[in-house]
Amino acid sequence: MMLEGLRARLPQGPQEIVLRDDVDMDLAAQAVATPAVRASVLLPIIVRAEPTLLFTRRTATLAKHSGQVSFPGGRSEPHDISPLQTALRETFEETGIAPGFVSVAGYLDRYLTGTGFDIQPVVGLLAPGFALAPDAREVDEIFEVPLAFLLDPANRRRESREIAGRQRRYYAFTYKEHEIWGATAAIIVNLAERML
């Protein structure tokens, strides 16, 4: 039932870039002007009595976005035939979740980051029985956040800070000890807009 409901609310193919006025328009416009690195992430929804969304926390040793909370995913490789294949391959590499456990529900708007990535989010439901085997080189932790918490506008906030000499505006969520912000939080807001 949840899969059909999501499919009715989500686009069923890869999306175009949407420049939003509620996040860093100047950085997004700058990314459009220069070639961005294509990437895909999976938003893995775990169907439970209270559905949850699965996240990873990146290791502190990674060159980009170290220590940050993110969705499983990463840059497209030349042999990837679609954003979906990139998202599923990267999810398996990072978390050990095999593609056969993912039922694709749809896509969200592509998101341009100030760090030069063009991200295609893919929403999927995880079937029972999946196993986690995190890649210790990339993933420090895998955790879940209740979907209802993330969809409630009262739990998101707008913040800004100076990053690389520029004032950045972004969304943020705090769940227990986890700080979710930047591109990951903006993608959650897009999911909430589609679902509500």
pLDDT at res. 168: 81
- Dig out the tokens for 115 from the structure: 């760090």
Residue 177 domain flag: no
What CATH number is given to the structural domain containing 58? Answer: 3.90.79.10
- The count of domains in the chain is 1
pLDDT tens track for 58-112: 887 755 555 689 999 999 999 999 999 999 999 999 999 999 999 999 999 999 8
**pLDDT grade for 13, boundaries at 50, 70 and 90:** very high
pLDDT over 80 (residue 26): no
Handedness of CA 88, 116, 64, 146 (dihedral sign): negative
Residue 14 domain flag: yes
Residue 38 domain flag: yes
pLDDT over 60 (residue 1): no
Residue 127 domain flag: yes
Residue 124 domain flag: yes
Residue 44's closest CA among 64, 68, 70? 70
Average pLDDT over residues 175-196: 94
- Dig out the tokens for 162 from the structure: 């100076």
Domain limits at 111?
2-147
58 φψ region: left (φ > 0), alpha (ψ -120 to 50), beta (else): beta
pTM, two decimals, is 0.90
Average pLDDT over residues 127-140: 92
